[in-house]
Amino acid sequence: AQKITQTQPGMFVQEKEAVTLDCTYDTSDPSYGLFWYKQPSSGEMIFLIYQGSYDQQNATEGRYSLNFQKARKSANLVISASQLGDSAMYFCAMRGGQGGKLIFGQGTELSVKP
C-alpha cells in the first residue's frame, strides 16, 4: 500500500532562516511523483513543487527545493529565507497508481516568527 508520512505536526522558524519539512513515503510502484502543497488559513491548496521518481536532479522552484533521497524514500521540502507569509499548513503528497490520484500526508503546520 502507498503511504505518506509527515512526522512533524508543527514547526517554528525565525524569519529569514531556512527550514526543512520532512516527508517519507512508501510505494512499490517503480514510477511515481511527489508533490508539496501549501494550505494557508484561508483554505486553498497551493501547488509548490513536483519531483518525478526518475528525475535525476532535485526540483527547485524559487525559494522552494525538494531534497529527494530515493534510497531513503524521503522527499523533504526546504524553504529558504522564510517569510511571514510562509506560515501555513504544508502537505506532502504522492501520485499513486493508475490515473494520478494523490495520497496526502497529515501535514506540518509551519509558523514563521518575526
Residue ranges in contact with other proteins by CB under 8 A: 31, 33, 35, 37, 43-47, 50, 52, 91, 93, 95, 97-104, 106-107
Choose between 62 and 114: whose C-beta lies nearer to other proteins.
62
Choose between 107 and 112: whose C-beta lies nearer to other proteins.
107
Question: Which of these, 55, 59, 57, 54, lies nearest to 92 by C-alpha position?
Answer: 59
Choose between 101 and 113: whose C-beta lies nearer to other proteins.
101
d(CA 96, CA 98): 7
- Copy the grid coordinates of residue 54: 526518475
Buried-state track 39-58, b at ≥16 Cβ within 10 A, e below 16: eeeeeeeeebbebebeeeee
Task: State in angstroms the smallest separation of the CB of 89 from other proteins.
Answer: 10
